[in-house]
Structure 1
Amino acid sequence: MAKRGGLVASLKAVAGDRTTQKVVERLFSHFPIRDGLERILQAREGALVVLGSNPDLQDISVDGLQIASRGFDAARLSEVAKMDGAIILDNSWKSILTANAHLSPPVDLPTTESGSRHRTAQRTASLTALPVVTVSQDRAVVTLYFNSEQVDLTPRWTIRRRILHHLQFLVVMRKRFDEAEEHLLRMEMLGLVTRRDVAHTLGLGELVVRAASGIEAMVVDSAQDPDTTAAVVADRVFEVEKLLQLTLRDYLDDQGDEARMALAGVPGHHLAHTWAVETEIGLSDVEGELVPRGHRLLYRTGVVTKRLREILLEDFSDAQALLHAPVERFMEVKGVGHKTATKLRRYFDRLLAAVHPIGQRVLTDRRESYNRLP
């Protein structure tokens, strides 16, 4: 029997046998079995589960507790696994037929295993052509035997836990990025932007993008709930990459694309240090007061196309000019009608109204700090 393991017992590891691949896919999409095996694994218990039943299996199965109830959950599977014998499921994998069963496959069937549970599982799979899963109590290893294949599934559970951990990190970082980007917007409207504000936002955004990419790579390798996980990742990384690009164009203009590549090359442990981000992307070389061009500001309005955004930025010098322009001024731009101009003005008015009390407090604090200087 061929043995396959490695870092990830992914679908690529069983690509040579499509039937085995389907069994692996079905196993990891079956939540009661998958989560039940994980409970057994975490509890450092052992188990032997036969995924299905047929006459060949019945011939070698004796004793056991017959379970008439239909359906089971992860807790039920882990509970019946505490008995020493095998667990036998029906062919739909929806019910536990027998628990604590004693399996006696012919001892002359070849096996590469040394432990009694794994020898029995391997011989049973060979005789019955049914998938058999074992959990090793001593080694905390989950193994699938099927179609002359032996697939180590343990790394999948390890990666699944890593995916959940990284998803939690992604949620936290996305929240921090949103807060930093909102703060940057407020400072832009007040004309109080610092290089630290910009670098802090960019560093957090890059961390979000990298976290999402890492999760997507793990999902591909492990086939863990790809649709659900992808939806969560897409939700958390939505628009972040776009906002990064627009922020770089706001402050570095034509050098924005080069700066984006430079940001992607910043070591992960340096992204939290604003000085490192400033230096790598060239922000520290920008002289004078930092005033955004307005790319991100117009994008956030949601009322102008990319082409119209470029036209507006050709006509307005920067974000401050956009923020305080009247409706009539917007209408002077080719392609901007009264409806669009009104929407822009109303959006900017809401932003300015929301930031006004904050601006007063920031300005007051700064004046007080200036007065305390010797």
Structure 2
Amino acid sequence: MGVRYGSANEKMRDALARVAPGTPLRDGIDRVVRAQAGALLVLDDGPDVLSICSGGFLVDAPYSPQRLSELAKMDGAIIISLDGGRIARANVHLVPDPTVPTSETGTRHRTAERVARSLGVPVVSASEEMGVINVYAGGGKRQLQEVGRLLERANQALQTLERYKIRLDDAIANLTAVEVEDVATLRDVAAVVQRGEMVHRIADEIETMIVELGVDARLLRLQLDELYGEIDDELELVVTDYVADDHTAAQTLAEMSSLTDDEIHDLRLSANALHRIAESTDLGQSVAPRGLRLLNRTGRLDAESAAAIAQHFNGLSKLQRATIDELTAVAGIDAATAADVRETLARVTESAILDQYN
């Protein structure tokens, strides 16, 4: 599944994968928590990390959960190699940049957040009294949850994803219907882009939960793949059909991802992300697709040929009226492919109209 996400979220997921249930590192952290001891673990032993280390002692020994549990009985931080295979140092006093902002109050968690933010390395802290495990990475923080509770949340999120996907499917079906009748408006397109981003955000959160659950997420992975399918590919085709010539679908989707949860509900912002027109506040204005999305449903047509056809006819309405002879005039399109394109467009048109009026 080609879920889109930024580098910050990617760093958090990498960190969560290292401490997921079933991993040696998580086994060691769980031992620390069960022993009601605290821990501050820096999951990188690069020069930047070592430069803020004071005191402690060199361990340079292979990592094991038992060794981590024993070393955590001391107050200082533990430095673990980037690959997780060795414990580099223990009982270290960390001296991060004190000007780095932190929302934490406890000394251990405050130090963990400052180290993670200032050096860009993953840090894990486990509180001694509450047994709370926090992961700091990519400028963010995530508190690890008990597996049963996280599974419950993930299943609820899957149900939400299913409901939002139905709404997205309805918006795409409506867009197809108005496209083949040549009455599409900016509102129809913006609705698909908006709902696609909402579905993406829910799937993105579930993806993070799956990473956090590790070996306990096999069933969730299958369910997410079945629900999410190729939504990103479909949404990219919708955007490509309407985005301005001097912009790309990737730029539009990146702009949508940057919107806040409140902003995403404003259809005008979704319309503006297409950069198709100078004035995006008129959601009722007519727009015409290039036809790439519907051409993509032709089995024997590759992406390059589809783009050549769309460019040649400059719009779906002209493409729908094209004869086989006119289609074969496009470089690389033979009679069989042209017939397949004609048949596909006719089938899509008929199906869309029937769905609209049934």
User: Normalised by the size of structure 1, how large is the TM-score?
Assistant: 0.54
What letter matches 2:261 in structure 1? G
What letter matches 1:202 in structure 2? V
Matched, 1:174 2:165: yes
Structure 2 Cα separation of the partners of residues 166 and 175 of structure 1: 14
Cα gap change, 1:153/1:274 in structure 2, threshold over 3 Å: closer, same or farther?
closer
Counterpart for residue 12 of structure 1:
19
Structure 2 Cα separation of the partners of residues 336 and 179 of structure 1: 33
Cα gap change, 1:331/1:258 in structure 2, threshold over 3 Å: closer, same or farther?
same
Counterpart for residue 210 of structure 1:
201
Counterpart for residue 232 of structure 1:
223
Deviation at 1:218, TM superposition (A): 0.8
What letter matches 2:205 in structure 1? G
Whose Rg is larger? 1
Deviation at 1:344, TM superposition (A): 1.1
Structure 2 Cα separation of the partners of residues 205 and 211 of structure 1: 10
Structure 1 Cα separation of the partners of residues 307 and 268 of structure 2: 31
Cα gap change, 1:264/1:306 in structure 2, threshold over 3 Å: closer, same or farther?
same
- The one of 245, 249, 254 aligned to 1:261: 254
- The 3-state SS of whatever aligns with 1:292 is coil
Counterpart for residue 272 of structure 1:
265
Confirm or deny: 8 A CA contact 2:20 2:211 kept in the other structure. Answer: no
Counterpart for residue 337 of structure 1:
334
Deviation at 1:286, TM superposition (A): 5.7
Matched, 1:347 2:344: yes
Deviation at 1:309, TM superposition (A): 1.2
Structure 1 Cα separation of the partners of residues 204 and 185 of structure 2: 29
Relative contact order, CA 8 A, sep 6+: which one is greater?
2
Structure 2 Cα separation of the partners of residues 213 and 200 of structure 1: 20
What letter matches 1:216 in structure 2? E
Counterpart for residue 146 of structure 2:
155
Structure 1 Cα separation of the partners of residues 327 and 23 of structure 2: 63
Deviation at 1:291, TM superposition (A): 0.5
Counterpart for residue 316 of structure 2:
319
Cα gap change, 1:233/1:285 in structure 2, threshold over 3 Å: closer, same or farther?
farther
Deviation at 1:283, TM superposition (A): 5.0
- The 3-state SS of whatever aligns with 2:265 is coil
Cα gap change, 1:357/1:165 in structure 2, threshold over 3 Å: closer, same or farther?
closer
Confirm or deny: 8 A CA contact 1:200 1:272 kept in the other structure. Answer: no
Counterpart for residue 95 of structure 1:
none
Cα gap change, 1:289/1:12 in structure 2, threshold over 3 Å: closer, same or farther?
same
Deviation at 1:16, TM superposition (A): 8.4
Confirm or deny: 8 A CA contact 1:278 1:284 kept in the other structure. Answer: no
User: Any stretches of 5+ residues in structure 2 without a counterpart?
Assistant: 1-14, 32-72, 74-130, 132-142
Confirm or deny: 8 A CA contact 1:293 1:319 kept in the other structure. Answer: yes
What letter matches 1:193 in structure 2? A
What letter matches 1:198 in structure 2? V
Q: What's the CA shift string for 1:288-313, capped at 9, x where partnerless?
A: 73101112121133331011112112
- The 3-state SS of whatever aligns with 2:333 is coil
Counterpart for residue 294 of structure 1:
291
Confirm or deny: 8 A CA contact 1:170 1:211 kept in the other structure. Answer: yes
Written as runs of structure 1 = structure 2, the 5 A alignment for 1:83-162 is 155-162=146-153
What letter matches 2:227 in structure 1? R
User: Any stretches of 5+ residues in structure 1 without a counterpart?
Assistant: 1-7, 25-111, 113-140, 142-151, 362-374
Structure 2 Cα separation of the partners of residues 153 and 260 of structure 1: 30
Structure 1 Cα separation of the partners of residues 259 and 303 of structure 2: 29
Q: What's the CA shift string for 1:290-349, capped at 9, x where partnerless?
A: 101112121133331011112112211111111221222111112111211111111111
What letter matches 1:293 in structure 2? R
State the number of aligned residues. Answer: 232
- The one of 158, 180, 186 aligned to 1:189: 180
Written as runs of structure 1 = structure 2, the 5 A alignment for 1:73-88 is none
What letter matches 2:272 in structure 1? T
Cα gap change, 1:216/1:356 in structure 2, threshold over 3 Å: closer, same or farther?
closer
Deviation at 1:356, TM superposition (A): 4.3
Confirm or deny: 8 A CA contact 1:266 1:280 kept in the other structure. Answer: no
Structure 1 Cα separation of the partners of residues 182 and 26 of structure 2: 64
Deviation at 1:189, TM superposition (A): 0.9
- The 3-state SS of whatever aligns with 2:345 is helix
